[in-house]
């Protein structure tokens, strides 16, 4: 219990650094941006702006919820190239930068059958509107091949940072993790050796120096202590899931208001599964499901969640323009539903 208390205290202190002075945002939001199709997103609590990945345009979009205006961020060697998707967005509140993941779309279009094509990690300064680096990940993939028997990994989509500003960029097909320093130096943090066509690591967040990753290949979570000399995955099997529940996370996000104790799993079929850990993610319990049934959703898929000021939202994706495609892309406010599940606690 002492270790858990220290872990939670550290998480609480870190979260206190990012509590926003931004004016409150509540209720459903509707973003008017042609071809937005947001796969992932994150809130910049310093500049009070939301950053979204425009999946098929391969751009990033800055959104001001107070004026309802957008600004398109064009990414050199990436944007408007049909071979790229922008599927990863993460804001590092310590370094005050936005990370953007541009992946070879074929990996997800073929469910891991085709892992060819280039992938990039981009570090963006939102205050100066400047790209700080734009790293091509082929050298990393080649380094992974030396560790996993020559298998190509791919499907890069999400990232998280440690307390020193290093970012960890996950490959879904092959379960590999790149460690990238704030200056753009890339190394292999971890490389597994699963069948490359199996979708594994799908979402990641950090609590201090602990990485928490949703791994669909094991229907659970893995954690890593980034302060250790060697990466060692610890499997965390979710408890209290109802009989017959099918674990599936497209994204995995820890809303800051819960100090690293709540993880929101974006289950594209069912809604947002809410998990809780009170011991620094040594264990986790299922609290329940927030259904994706708001009338504004239409045929959207709940691929990601985000906290904007004190409110929690589902981001809706409309894959491949399946009609009817909305003129306004909705963000659905689920603050009250999440709070109700957290208050009720686990069933076991």
d(CA 34, CA 337) in angstroms, rounded, equals 30
- Average pLDDT score over residue span 81-97: 96
pLDDT at 327: 74
**For position 269, what pLDDT does the model report?**
86
Q: Which pairs with CB-CB distance under 8 Å and at least 24 residues apart come from 314-320?
A: 314/266, 314/272, 314/290, 315/38, 315/40, 315/41, 315/52, 316/38, 316/292, 317/37, 317/38, 317/39, 317/55, 318/37, 319/37, 320/56
DSSP 95-136: TTEEEEEEEETHHHHTTTS---S--EEEEEETTTTEEEEEEE
Q: Give the pLDDT band of residue 321 (cuts 50, 70, 90).
A: low
pLDDT digits over 281-303, tens only?
A: 999 999 999 999 998 888 889 99
User: CA-CA-CA-CA torsion for 215, 221, 226, 227, nearest 10 degrees?
Assistant: -160
Angle at 289 between CA 284 and CA 291, to 5 degrees: 155
User: Do residues 177 and 170 touch, judged by C-beta distance below 8 A?
Assistant: yes
> Is pLDDT at 3 greater than 50 in this prediction?
no
φ, ψ of residue 62 to 5 degrees: the values are -95, 130
What domains are there in the chain, each with its CATH number?
Answer: 2-344 (2.130.10.10)
pLDDT for res 328: 87
Distances (CA, A) of 314 to 61, 76, 246, 303: 17, 29, 20, 8
CA distance 279 to 283: 7
Is residue 15's pLDDT more than 70? no
List pLDDT tens digits, range 221-258: 999 999 998 999 999 999 999 999 999 999 999 999 99
- 20-29, 123-132, 194-203, 204-213: which has the minimum mean pLDDT? 194-203
Q: What is the pLDDT of residue 13?
A: 44
The per-residue pLDDT for 130 is 97
Taking alpha carbons only, the member of 134, 133, 147, 208 closest to residue 177 is 147
Question: Model-level pTM?
Answer: 0.92
Mean of the per-residue pLDDT values for the chain? Answer: 91
* 144, containing H or E segment: helix 138-145
Asked if the bond preceding 327 is cis, omega within 30° of 0, the reply is no
Residues 6+ apart with CB under 8 A from 244: none
Residue 4: Cβ-neighbour burial (10 angstroms; 0-12, 13-18, 19+): middle
Element (H, E) at 139: helix 138-145
The residue to which tokens 């270790």 are assigned: 3
Q: What percent of the chain has pLDDT over 70?
A: 91
């Amino acid at each position: 219990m002492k270790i858990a208390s220290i872990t939670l205290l550290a998480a609480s202190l870190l979260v206190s650094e990012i509590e926003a002075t931004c004016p409150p945002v509540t209720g459903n939001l509707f973003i008017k941006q042609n071809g937005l199709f947001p796969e992932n997103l994150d809130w910049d609590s310093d500049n009070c702006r939301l950053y979204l990945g425009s999946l098929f345009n391969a751009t990033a979009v800055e959104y001001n919820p107070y004026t309802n205006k957008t600004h398109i961020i064009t990414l050199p060697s990436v944007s408007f190239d049909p071979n790229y998707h922008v599927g990863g967005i993460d804001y590092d509140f310590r370094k005050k930068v936005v990370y953007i993941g541009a992946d070879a779309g074929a990996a997800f279009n073929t469910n891991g059958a085709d892992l060819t094509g280039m992938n990039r990690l981009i570090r963006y300064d939102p205050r100066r509107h400047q790209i700080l680096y734009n790293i091509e990940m082929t050298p990393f993939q080649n380094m992974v091949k030396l560790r996993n028997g020559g298998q190509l990994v791919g499907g890069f989509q999400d990232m998280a940072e440690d307390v020193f500003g290093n970012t960890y960029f996950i490959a879904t097909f092959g379960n590999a993790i790149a460690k990238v320093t704030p200056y753009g130096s890339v190394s292999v943090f971890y490389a597994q050796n699963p069948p490359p066509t199996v979708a594994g690591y799908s979402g990641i967040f950090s609590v201090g120096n602990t990485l928490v990753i949703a791994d669909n290949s094991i229907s659970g979570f893995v954690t890593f202590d980034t302060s250790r000399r060697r990466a060692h995955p610890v499997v965390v099997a979710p408890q209290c899931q109802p009989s017959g529940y099918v674990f599936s996370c497209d994204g995995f996000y820890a809303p800051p208001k819960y100090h690293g104790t709540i993880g929101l799993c974006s289950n594209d079929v069912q809604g947002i599964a809410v998990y809780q850990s009170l011991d620094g993610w040594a264990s986790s319990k299922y609290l329940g499901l927030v259904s994706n049934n708001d009338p504004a959703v239409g045929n959207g898929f709940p691929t990601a969640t985000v906290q904007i000021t004190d409110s929690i939202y589902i981001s809706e994706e409309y894959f491949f323009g399946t009609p009817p495609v909305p003129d306004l892309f909705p963000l659905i406010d689920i603050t009250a539903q999440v709070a109700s599940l957290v208050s009720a606690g686990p069933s076991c």
